[in-house]
Structure 1
Amino acid sequence: MIDLFSDKLSSYLKNKYPEELPALSIVRYSIKFLISNVLPIIIIILSSILFQMTKEVVIGLLGFCILRMFSGGYHVKSAELCILTSVTVIYLIAIVGQQINSYMIVLDLISIILVGIYAPSNIKKQTRIKEENYRYLKLMSLIIVTSNIFIQSNILSVAFLIQSITLIRNLNSMKEVKSE
């Protein structure tokens, strides 16, 4: 659905503005990127206002996304599934995060271990960062997760744990093998 919309809109725009726009493939990719990345955030923020969970959702969204920028992780194959997964995961983080007062330090320690072992994960085709600089991504990821020991946010504990689980390469490999 997103691919079809991106194809039609990019073709329309390229026909209407042939000199002003770059190649059709670049326009198509840009539209798909915007839909896949901006739409989930808009859905999450607007629905969080409706459900009166804005603070919790924003904390979960920021924690998850900031750690993901440095640590990488599994990517679902379709844009539609990515949007559905993103919205579901962020709400899961916000709801569960409010319930886990006594387990926060355990979740933080598990996240630190997973990030220490697996970060960065699944980023070779996603970034232009050279492999010799991956250690800095790991260090930043560890700093981010460890910061919650001082911040003491239940929601960040859950966000970091879920993001840390997406780093596990064996899970990523199993999903990639099944799709081949």
Structure 2
Amino acid sequence: MQHKLIIIMNTAAVVLFTLIGVLFTDRGSEVIMLLKCFALLRLVSGGLHLESSMGCAIVTAGTATLLSIINANTTWTISLTAISMLIVLKYAPSGIENQSRIPERFYPLLPVISFIIVASNLWFLSSMAAIAFFVQALTLVINEHFMKRG
């Protein structure tokens, strides 16, 4: 119950901070796309976890707001998508233990599911999705190479 409440409060904080950011950027639809894509991929791939929920909310909202002002052309969109596909195949899932309700027996499928989610952007060619997937994929690399102990 406490874990669910923390998730709800964290999500509400991300939305609130993002709405504040959107007031300055006027990029609401782009931020929404970034957050949706980031969250969807994060759900199945895992990634870096910050120590505090408030820190996570601030970093997530701030990053999404800043990234929403980037305009990637088709070449960059395809490139970021392809790089992200390779990263999630290699590193997903990462740091998902004790953070997800996905049973461990499904973990071997998560790189494939992550790959399919990212690869879908080759059809849609959304620059915001490409950016979100790339940043989320980078959190997998950071978690694996810089944050894991032992």
Most deviating of 59-68 and 32-41: 32-41
Query: What do residues 102-135 of structure 1 show as CA deviations (whole Å, max 9, x unaligned)?
Result: 3121111110010000011101121243322112
TM-score by length of 1: 0.73
Residues 1:105 and 2:78 are matched in the alignment: yes
Other structure's SS at 1:73 match: coil
| CA–CA distance in structure 1, aligned partners of residues 48 and 83 of structure 2 | 18
Amino acid at match of 1:104: T
1:7-46 to structure 2, matched below 5 A, reads: 26=1, 29-46=3-20
Number of residue pairs matched by the alignment: 147
> Which sections of structure 1, spanning at least 5 residues, go unmatched?
1-25
Partners of 1:105 and 1:81 lie apart in 2 by 31
**Between Structure 1 and Structure 2, whose CA radius of gyration is higher?**
1
1:119 partnered with 2:92: yes
Alignment partner of 1:81 out of 50, 55, 58: 55
CA displacement, residues 137-168 of structure 1 (integer Å, 9 cap, x when unaligned): 22221111000011001111110000001112
- The SS at the match of 1:95 is coil
How far off is 1:88 after superposition?
1.6
| Structure with larger RCO (C-alpha < 8 A, sep 6+) | 2
Distance in structure 2 (CA, Å) of the matches to 1:116 and 1:107: 14
Matched AA of 1:131: E
Letter in 2 for 1:109: A
Gapped regions of structure 2 (runs ≥ 5): none
User: Which residue identity does 1:159 align to in structure 2?
Assistant: A
Q: 2:145 aligns with which of 157, 167, 170?
A: 170
Fraction of identical pairs, as percent: 29
Residues 29 and 157 (structure 1), Cα distance of their counterparts in 2 relative to 1, 3 Å cut: closer
- 5 Å-filtered alignment, 1:54-93, equals 54-93=28-67
